[in-house]
Structure formats: structure tokens, C-alpha cells
Structure 1
Amino acid sequence: MTFEFNTYDKWDDARWAAIEPLYREAFPHGAKPVGILRAMLDKKIAWLHTGYLDGKLAAMAVTGLSRPAAERMLIIDYMAVDAGLRGQGLGRKFLENIRDWAVRKHDIQAVLIEVEAGDTEEDAARVHFWEHCGFRVTEYVHQYIWLPEPYRAMVMPLTRDFTVTDDGQALFGRITDFHRKSFRKRESEGV
């Protein structure tokens, strides 16, 4: 089996047409509109990643960076693996490719994600997957005003001196800042 990892910093409608079904299947609720995703790449605040297994789309992700540069983290905004390919280690392999790319290109200190903080089996399975990949769950639970489910931050430190100094609320501040930048209409608004 051949796995091909790609990272894109420019929007391409044909590429998105191939990726969108996986994105929609994985994120039926809470997904950013396509226009916002496109603007994120146009504003140079995000990247689109794909993983192809034997020439077939198997995984996709949208990532961005948090600031400041001295404490730079990669934020995984969305990551999905084709449902028929889950449980085979592909998600972990895809994540490792994303992490290695971010370390090489952006000298990141950690990888940061947000996961549902509910008590369903599906929520627990997601947390377990991320923990299995090396992430640590934080205690702070964040409730967005526009989403019904609560979320918490999980972080994968990549340097020895990286520490979480609170219950995760500061990490959520970075995630929220990234979301704000994602929805800004113009680059001149401080992106």
C-alpha cells in the first residue's frame, strides 16, 4: 500500500471537489462553510492537507498556526479519515505527517486540537484516539455560543520545556483567536 501526503496553501476548486464529500461526512454539524475555508487559505492563515492511499483520498485536514512565534503551536481545525479505513492506523500516520511537516516548516512547539467534551461513546472514542496519538486532555470545558456541545483542548507537546500553565483555558484562547481570524472578512483587519 502506498500512502501519499500533500499540503496545499492555495485553494483549488477541483481539489476541493474531491475532498468535500469526506469533509461533509465527517463534519455534518459545525463545519466551516466552503467560502470561509477558501478565505483561510487565501489569507495565508491555514493549510489543507490530504492523504491518499493507493491513489484514493483517505484523509483530509485543515490546520493553522497560533501565535506568538516563540510559543507557536499547530492547530488542527479539522481532521478526518475515510470511515471505511478507520481502525488501521491511517489516522495516526496522517497526523504524524502533519506534525512532521509543521515541525520542519514552522518550528512548532506543540500540536493543539479541540474535541467534544460530552459523555457519549463517540466523544470518548475521539478522546481515546487523540490520547493514543500522544495528546493530553485538559480540564477546562469551553461552551461556544453558536454550538450546542461543549469542547475541551487537547495538546501534544513537542519540546521538553512546553508546559500547560493552567487548566487549558489559555490554550482555548489560542483556538478562539484562530477561529476569529478564520471568519474575518479582510486581511486588513489584523490577520
Structure 2
Amino acid sequence: MPWTFNTLTEWDEVWWDKLRPIYREAFPHGAKPEKVLRSMLDRGIASLHAGLQEGEAVAMAVTGFCGGKGRKRMILDYMAVRQDQRGQGLGRLFFSQIRDYAEREHQAEAIVIETEAEDTEMNRERLRFWIHCGFIATSYVHQYIWVPEPYRALYLPLSDHFTLRDDGKSLFRDITSFHHQSFRGQ
């Protein structure tokens, strides 16, 4: 199984044509519009990651950063594995390369994600996946004003000096700041 991991920091239409179907399949509702993703890369606030198996796109992710030196956190905005490729360990492999990128290229102290907090089987399955990847779930549940479902933050410490001093509410300040920055100028 030849596996390739690529990170793009500039918008590339050829790459997006390969990754768009995965993005749309995994996030049919509530995903950022393509023009917002393009703007995020054009403004240098996000990266687009691609996982390819035997040259075929099977995983994609969008990441960005918040905080400054000594407090840099990666926001994992979107990550998906093509539905017909799930259950083979590709999600964990792909995420491990994103984690390595955060540590090696950006010296991030943590990775932060948000997951749907409603108690459904799909959401429990996603939560199990992230916990299996090393994430710690917080108890705080955030309700955005623009989406109906509640969300929970999870974090993965990448350095010994990272500590969370609350129930997860502070992580949503970082996530919300990143979302606002994403839509700025749209």
C-alpha cells in the first residue's frame, strides 16, 4: 500500500479537484464554502493536507493555527477519509502525519478539534476515533448561534508545558477566533 502525504499552503485547483469529493462526501452540511477555503490558503492562515494511496486521493484535511510563539495550537478544522476506505487504519495514519507536521514544521504545543456533542452513534464513533488518536475530551459543550448542534472541544498535548486550566471553554475561544479569521473578508 504505497501511501503519500502532501501539505499544500497555496490553493491548487488540480489538488482540490482530487480532494473536493472527499470533502463534500464527509461534510455535506455546514462545511465552509470552497471560496472560503481558497481564501484561507491564499491568506496563509490554513493548509490543505492530502493522503493518497497508490496515487489516489483517499483522505483530506484543513488545518490552521492560533496563538503566538510558545502558545501555538493547531486547529484541525476538517479531516475526512473517503467512506469506502474507512476502517483500514488510514485515518489514524493520516492524522499521525498531520500531528507530525504540527510538531515538526510549527512547533505547536497542542492540536485542538471540535466534534458534535449530541449523543448519537455516529458522534460516539467519531469521539472514540479521536480518543484512540490520543485526544482528551473536555466536559464543556459549546452552542454556536449559527449552527443548531452543540460541539465539544478535544485536545492533544504535543508538549509537556501545555496544560488546560478549565473545562474546555478556553479552547472554544481559539476555535471561534480561527473561524472568524477564516471568514474575514468574505
TM-score by length of 2: 0.98
Look up the match of 1:130: 130
Which amino acid letter does the alignment assign opposite residue 28 of structure 1?
P
Whether 1:174 aligns to 2:160 is: no
Which consecutive residues of structure 1, in runs of 5 or more, have no partner in the other structure?
Answer: 187-191
Match in the other structure for 1:20: 20
Bigger Cα displacement from structure 2, 95-104 vs 126-135: 95-104
- Output the CA distance in 2 between the equivalents of 1:159 and 1:16: 32
Q: Which residue does 1:153 correspond to in 2?
A: 153
Matches within 5 A, 1:21-36: 21-36=21-36
Deviation sequence 1:113-147 (CA, Å, 0-9, x none): 00000000000000000000000000111111111
Q: Structure 1 residue 79 and structure 2 residue 79: aligned?
A: yes
* 1:6-155 mapped onto 2 (5 Å cutoff): 6-155=6-155
Look up the equivalent residue of 1:135 and give its one-letter code: F
- Provide the C-alpha distance between the structure 2 equivalents of 1:94 and 1:128, rounded to a whole number of angstroms: 16
Report the Cα distance in structure 2 between the residues aligned to 1:168 and 1:66, rounded to whole angstroms: 16
Structure 2 gaps, min length 5: none
The DSSP-based 3-state class of the residue aligned with 1:93 is helix
CA distance in 1 between counterparts of 2:24 and 2:144 reads: 21
CA distance in 2, matches of 1:62, 1:161: 26
User: Distance in 1 between the 2:88 and 2:112 partners?
Assistant: 23
Letter of the 2:176 counterpart: T
Aligned length: 186
Q: Distance in 2 between matches of 1:70 and 1:102?
A: 13
Q: Sequence identity, in percent?
A: 54
Deviation at 1:78, TM superposition (A): 0.2
Question: What is the CA-CA distance between 1:161 and the residue it aligns to?
Answer: 2.0
Normalising to structure 1: TM-score of the pair? Answer: 0.95
Q: Distance in 1 between matches of 2:68 and 2:169?
A: 17
Deviations 1:22-71 (A, max 9, x none): 10000011100000000000110000000001111110000000113211
In structure 1, C-alpha distance between the alignment counterparts of 2:124 and 2:62, rounded to whole Å: 22
The structural deviation recorded for 1:158 is 1.1
Q: How many angstroms does 1:102 deviate by?
A: 1.4
Q: Distance in 1 between matches of 2:183 and 2:141?
A: 22
- Cα offset for 1:85? 1.1
Give distance in 1, aligned partners of 2:41 and 2:162: 28
Q: Tell me the SS of whatever aligns to 1:119.
A: coil
